[in-house]
Structures are given as C-alpha cells and as structure tokens.
C-alpha cells in the first residue's frame, strides 16, 4: 500500500509594471515555485533584470533590496506563513510590482513592520 500524498500547490510569482498617471498595466512574467525560497529566488532574478535597465540613481534602492538579507528572511517568513509578499521598484511614473503568494488561493499582503 502506498501512502497518500497531499498535492502541494506551491507559490505563484508575478511581475508587472504599471504607470502611475493612467494605471496602464503591463505583464512582465509569472512563474510557479514549489517553495518560498524558490519563489524569492525568482523575485530576486526579475528584480535584477529590471534594475539592470534603470539609470543608476533610480536603481539604488532596488540594488539595496537585492542584497537585503533581513528583508529576504522576512519575505520567506511571510510566504511560509501563507501570506503574500510584494516588493515595488519605483522609476519615475512607472512602478514595477513583484509578488509571490501561495498558489490556489487569494492572499492578502502582510504589512511591512
């Protein structure tokens, strides 16, 4: 007799861009991940791609986020608890929103401390 395994839904990651003045939204990609760590890895990779395309002055805060181990641990904790984690990169009137959440359900974002 084989043990019954509960299916793992994992996490759903997305990247979008939107303009502040008219709220046009542009889909930049999505990715399924099986663990919080893999979800965070995808968010960091996409943030790196976005940051590489920004001018140096604008990219500074995004570069900081890419190396912020404390924030990354916070993201892992939020995801492991079943919450949604988001990070926004600001570039003038454009915002890049990176998000990860448990797959298969809608989750509300946890507020930053």
Report pLDDT digits (tens) over 45-99: 999 999 999 998 889 999 999 999 999 999 999 999 999 999 999 999 999 999 9
DSSP state string for 45-63: HHHHHHHHTS-HHHHHHHH
Please report whether residue 87 resides in a domain.
yes
Per-residue pLDDT at 8: 53
Which of left, alpha, beta for 8 (phi over 0: left; psi -120 to 50: alpha)?
A: beta
Number of structural domains in the chain: 1
In a domain, 56, yes or no: yes
The model carries a pTM of 0.82
The strand pairing partners of 85, in sequence order, are 100
Residue 1 in any domain: the answer is no
pLDDT at 23: 86
Which pLDDT does position 105 carry in this prediction?
A: 54
Kindly state whether residue 3 falls inside one of the protein's structural domains: no
CA atoms within 13 A on the CB side of 87: 28
Domain span holding position 49 = 11-102
Q: Does residue 90 lie within any of the structural domains? A: yes
Residue 71 lies in a domain: yes
In-domain check, residue 15: yes
């Amino acid at each position: 007799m084989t043990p019954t395994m509960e299916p793992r839904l994992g996490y759903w990651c997305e990247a979008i861009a939107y303009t502040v003045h008219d709220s046009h939204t542009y889909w930049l990609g999505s990715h399924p991940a099986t663990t919080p760590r893999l979800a965070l890895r995808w968010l960091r990779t996409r943030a790196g791609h976005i940051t590489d395309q920004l001018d140096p002055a604008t990219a500074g805060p995004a570069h900081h986020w890419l190396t912020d181990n404390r924030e990354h641990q916070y993201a892992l904790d939020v995801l492991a608890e079943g919450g949604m984690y988001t990070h926004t990169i600001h570039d003038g009137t454009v915002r890049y929103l990176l998000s990860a959440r448990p797959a298969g359900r809608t989750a509300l974002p946890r507020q930053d401390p």
